[in-house]
């Protein structure tokens, strides 16, 4: 039971008012113990008021952000307010919820700082690291409805042994999802093995996948296991599956259907207890129409399909990803980097990110290296982001739609109108190319 004196009528009314606020409100003393919280804090944390009051704030919110960047610590040490920081809160049931926090120092009548007060606003539909496991399974945050829907069904998909096809441009996180499927499955104690089909010559890919027996060819002095054998009991990711040669596609189809394979030079079939996840940035349906990808293999791989949107189509995630990347590099570089300046965030929100999340992370790494501390400024960004994109002879900067349209037209011209080749050069799907051309043509009318 809470040991508090009966409040006066005015204080009781004030408490009812604060309890009616949708945002969470709580205060701490100089020892970091929670001295007050409203009902919304109970809802956000999943703890009762009696379980919260008197405990250290980091014991209540259980978030790694307390260690990396604490809004209350900043406001109490520097005697200033801190606004709109994103952080994660681990609820009593273990789920993670994304909130926006603002904090201010709490002072007595003499103006001395005696603690701090913080507000928390739960971001609608915004879950960070929503899946079980230390540090989260996905390891990145999102507010995108399409990704949140995929995250919601991910545990159910992982619980099966069905083949999964991951589609999306390079850098959208396909391997991250593949690893999450593995970690959430009954195969999580087995190995996760990834092979890049686009990085291996066609003549070597078969031996890499299925292995070979001693004497299979001149230099085969001893048996060598293939990736299927190395992934036994676990998950095999076939990245860039669209680059696999047609003859090998037939052998892969047999493995998926018969659950067995023959190593090069072998005479007996080997059972394959492996779950296959495939990923590609190419349009396999178009490749089937063009005859460069087997239709039967496409349908065998396409049991469950996840399409990951490019970063330019979920710009609401940019601030979250920026905060997360800064948190990593703040610790790695031992620098007191607290965020990005408003003009930097505006520039980052406008950039089209042809390299997606991977490119954004590289940009933040570069900026953190140059930034001595405090806020990242425009001068700390790579040169391509320091000024608007301009075309010779034009005074006004291009819009993102115009930039994408011109890049698409140029890629088509360089490939003599071949859309498959243009998509490959741009790292986008054919559907995305059609959308860019349709929107770009509309701006010219």
> The CATH number of the domain where 370 resides is what?
1.10.8.60
pLDDT at 385: 84
Separation CA 138–CA 440 (nearest Å)? 34
Q: What angle do CA 315, 137, 427 make, to 5 degrees?
A: 45
In a domain, 392, yes or no: no
pLDDT at 223: 76
In a domain, 134, yes or no: no
pLDDT at 396: 47
pLDDT in tens, 337-390: 888 888 888 889 888 899 999 999 999 999 999 999 889 999 999 988 876 544
Q: Which of 23, 104, 28 is nearest to 60 (CA)?
A: 28
pLDDT in tens, 245-278: 998 999 999 999 999 988 877 678 888 999 999 9
Residue where one domain finishes, among candidates 123, 155, 178: 123
Q: How many angstroms separate the Cα of 113 from the Cα of each of 17, 76, 83, 118?
A: 25, 7, 18, 14
pLDDT at 168: 93
Q: How many angstroms separate the Cα of 127 from the Cα of each of 26, 280, 297, 312?
A: 21, 26, 35, 20
DSSP, residue by residue, 39-72 = HHHHHHHT--HHHHTTSBHHHHH--THHHH--HH
In a domain, 132, yes or no: no
pTM of the entire structure? 0.58
For residues 28-56, average pLDDT: 91
The answer to whether residues 172 and 210 belong to one domain is: yes
Residue where one domain finishes, among candidates 123, 154, 177: 123
Backbone φ and ψ of 78, nearest 5°: -105, 0
The answer to whether residues 190 and 263 belong to one domain is: yes
Q: What percent of the chain has pLDDT over 70?
A: 82
Quick check: 236 and 195 in contact, CB under 8 A? yes
The answer to whether residues 151 and 227 belong to one domain is: yes
The answer to whether residues 153 and 295 belong to one domain is: yes
CA 220 to chain centre: 42
CA 32 to chain centre: 32
DSSP, residue by residue, 68-124 = H--HHHHHHHHTS-EEEEEEEEE-TTS-EEEEEEEEEEEE-TTS-EEEEEEEEEEPT
Its domain, for residue 291, covers 141-307
The answer to whether residues 15 and 69 belong to one domain is: yes
**CATH code at 180?**
3.40.50.300
pLDDT in tens, 272-302: 999 999 999 999 999 999 999 999 999 999 9
pLDDT at 134: 30
Which of the four pLDDT bands, split at 50, 70 and 90, describes residue 399?
A: low
pLDDT at 266: 67
In a domain, 394, yes or no: no
Which of the four pLDDT bands, split at 50, 70 and 90, describes residue 431?
A: confident
Q: What percent of the chain has pLDDT over 90?
A: 33
Backbone φ and ψ of 196, nearest 5°: -90, 105
The answer to whether residues 341 and 436 belong to one domain is: no
Which of the four pLDDT bands, split at 50, 70 and 90, describes residue 104?
A: very high
Domain count, the chain: 4
**CATH code at 427?**
1.10.10
**CATH code at 101?**
3.30.450.20
Read off the tokens for 185: 């499955």
pLDDT at 177: 93
The answer to whether residues 296 and 353 belong to one domain is: no
Q: How many angstroms separate the Cα of 301 from the Cα of each of 205, 226, 257, 258?
A: 18, 20, 11, 14
Of 350 and 134, the structure prediction assigns the larger pLDDT to 350
Candidate from 130-134, 211-215, 381-385 with smallest mean pLDDT: 130-134
Quick check: 171 and 357 in contact, CB under 8 A? yes
The answer to whether residues 29 and 73 belong to one domain is: yes
Residue where one domain finishes, among candidates 123, 151, 169: 123
pLDDT in tens, 57-71: 988 887 766 655 688
In a domain, 130, yes or no: no
Separation CA 301–CA 278 (nearest Å)? 7
In a domain, 390, yes or no: no
Quick check: 41 and 25 in contact, CB under 8 A? yes
pLDDT at 66: 65
For residues 136-165, average pLDDT: 82
For residues 395-417, average pLDDT: 70
pLDDT in tens, 299-332: 999 999 999 999 998 888 888 889 888 988 888 8
The answer to whether residues 259 and 160 belong to one domain is: yes
In a domain, 323, yes or no: yes
Tracing tokens 């290296």 back to the chain, one arrives at 369
Candidate from 10-14, 134-138, 278-282, 417-421 with smallest mean pLDDT: 134-138
In a domain, 2, yes or no: no
The answer to whether residues 326 and 279 belong to one domain is: no
pLDDT in tens, 142-151: 778 888 888 8
pLDDT at 141: 65
Quick check: 433 and 426 in contact, CB under 8 A? yes
The answer to whether residues 340 and 426 belong to one domain is: no
The answer to whether residues 109 and 19 belong to one domain is: yes
Is 174's pLDDT higher than 60?
yes
């Amino acid at each position: 039971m809470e040991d508090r004196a009966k409040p006066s009528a005015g204080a009781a009314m004030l408490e009812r008012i604060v309890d009616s606020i949708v945002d969470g409100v709580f205060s701490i003393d100089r020892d970091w113990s929670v001295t007050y919280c409203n009902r919304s804090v109970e809802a956000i944390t999943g703890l009762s008021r009696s379980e919260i009051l008197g405990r250290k704030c980091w014991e209540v919110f259980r978030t790694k952000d307390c260690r990396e960047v604490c809004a209350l610590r900043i406001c109490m040490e520097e005697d200033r307010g801190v606004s709109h920081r994103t952080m994660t809160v681990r609820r009593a049931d273990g789920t993670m919820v994304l909130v926006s926090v603002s904090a201010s120092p709490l002072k007595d009548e003499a103006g001395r700082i005696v603690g701090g007060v913080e507000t928390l606003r739960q971001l609608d539909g915004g879950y960070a690291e929503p899946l079980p496991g230390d540090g989260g399974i996905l390891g990145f945050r999102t507010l995108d409805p399409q990704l949140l829907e995929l995250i919601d069904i991910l545990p159910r998909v992982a619980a099966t042994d069905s083949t999964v096809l991951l589609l999306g441009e390079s850098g959208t996180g396909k391997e991250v999802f593949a690893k999450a499927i593995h970690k959430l499955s009954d195969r999580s104690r087995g190995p996760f093995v990834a092979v890049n089909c686009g990085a291996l010559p066609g003549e070597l890919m078969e031996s890499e996948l299925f292995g070979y027996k001693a004497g299979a060819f001149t230099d085969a002095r001893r048996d060598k296991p293939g990736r299927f054998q190395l992934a036994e009991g676990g998950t095999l990711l076939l990245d860039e599956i669209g680059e696999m040669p047609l003859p090998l596609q037939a052998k892969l189809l047999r493995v998926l259907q018969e659950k067995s394979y023959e190593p090069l030079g072998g005479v007996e079939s080997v059972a394959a207890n492996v779950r296959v996840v495939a990923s590609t940035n190419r349009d396999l349906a178009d490749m089937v129409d063009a005859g460069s990808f087997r239709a039967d293999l496409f349908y065998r791989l396409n049991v469950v399909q996840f399409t990951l949107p490019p970063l330019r189509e979920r710009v609401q995630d940019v601030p979250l990803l920026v905060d997360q990347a800064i948190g990593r590099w703040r610790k790695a570089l031992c620098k007191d980097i607290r965020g990005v300046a408003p003009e930097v965030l505006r520039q980052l929100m406008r950039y089209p990110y042809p390299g997606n999340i991977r490119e954004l992370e590289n940009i933040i790494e570069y900026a953190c290296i140059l930034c001595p501390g405090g806020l990242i400024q425009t001068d700390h960004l790579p040169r391509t982001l320091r000024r608007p994109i301009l075309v010779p002879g034009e005074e006004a900067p291009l819009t993102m739609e115009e930039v994408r349209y011109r890049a698409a037209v140029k890629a088509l011209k360089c490939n003599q109108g071949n859309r498959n080749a243009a998509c490959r050069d741009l790292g986008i799907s054919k559907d995305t190319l059609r959308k860019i051309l349709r929107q770009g043509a509309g701006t010219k009318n």
